[in-house]
Amino acid sequence: QVQLVESGGGVVQPGRSLRLYCAASGFTFSDYAMHWVRQAPGKGLEWVAVISYVGNKKYYADSVKGRFTISRDNSKNTLHLQMNSLRAEDTAVYYCARDGEWIWDYWGQGTLVTVSS
Amino acid sequence: DIVMTQSPDSLAVSLGERATINCKSSQSILYSSNNKNYLAWYQQRPGQPPKLLIFWASTRESGVPDRFSGSGSGTDFTLTISSLQAGDVAVYYCQQYYSTPYTFGQGTKLEIK
């Protein structure tokens, strides 16, 4: 069965970096684009970034552009999100989601990132 | 950016009654070349990730009960739950995937009256 498992979250000070991971299983990872979506505590959903199935196309929300980098390793079925220069407003649960030709059909359980001094 | 606006923000409906949630996009999300509306609906129960209910504005995801239906085109869309069940208590989001940045509505909290 399809599984997406995020990891790498935690408490980090403002200005520091963190790298998130999304381990995929149960499907051919290299056939799908992948997204990161976040949700601040008690708030709605915010799309963060997307990467094409090959990894050659990447798009970002303006709120993270220049600070976050999405990448993938198709040989290891893993999606990454490198987050630099973290701010308090980046505090959120980060979800990875599978994109099957515009259909975001599977989401992970999320990993919590808290940016606080 | 395409702004997605849902109404109402919250809704209380009796068990077995109909629930209707509206979603309006700031510009058309109907792609003329394929006549598809790039609109999805998600359900998010407390402490859970979002769950895809509807895509292409009206196509029900596999396994989603047929009491959930989506309609609309262009800029105005509706999610209807025909007969509310206790397990439908959740926050519902619409989302456009017509263009980046992909955007979500603010969410509609559905409760039992």
Rounded distance between C-alpha atoms, residue A104 and residue A97, angstroms: 6
pLDDT value at position B1?
96
A95 touches chain B (CB under 8 A): yes
The two tokens of residue A90 are 């980046």
CA distance A97 to chain B (A): 10
> Of B53, B18, B30, B43, which is closest to residue B99 (Cα–Cα)?
B30
The two tokens of residue B18 are 């109909």
A36 touches chain B (CB under 8 A): no
HSE-CB at B44 with a 13 A cutoff on CA atoms is: 27
Rounded distance between C-alpha atoms, residue B93 and residue B107, angstroms: 5
**A35-70 pLDDT, tens per residue?**
999 999 999 999 999 999 999 999 999 999 999 999
**B9-52 pLDDT, tens per residue?**
999 999 999 999 999 999 999 999 999 999 999 999 999 999 99
Sort B15 into a burial class: Cβ within 10 Å, 0-12 / 13-18 / 19+.
exposed
Q: pLDDT category, A94, cuts 50, 70, 90?
A: very high
Is there a contact between B38 and B31 (Cβ–Cβ < 8 Å)? Answer: yes
Rounded distance between C-alpha atoms, residue A34 and residue A25, angstroms: 13
Task: Please tell me which of the candidates A61, A103, A108 has its beta carbon nearest to residue B101.
Answer: A61
pLDDT value at position A103?
92
Sort A15 into a burial class: Cβ within 10 Å, 0-12 / 13-18 / 19+.
exposed
Q: Is residue B90 helix, strand or coil?
A: strand
Q: Residue B18 corresponds to which amino acid?
A: R
Q: What is the CA radius of gyration of chain A?
A: 13
HSE-CB at A82 with a 13 A cutoff on CA atoms is: 6
Burial readout A38-64 (b: 16 or more C-beta within 10 A, e: otherwise): bbeeeeebbbbbbbebebeeebbbeeb
pLDDT value at position B73?
97
pLDDT value at position A16?
98
* B-interface mutation test, from A4, A65, A104, most B Cβ less than 10 A away: A104
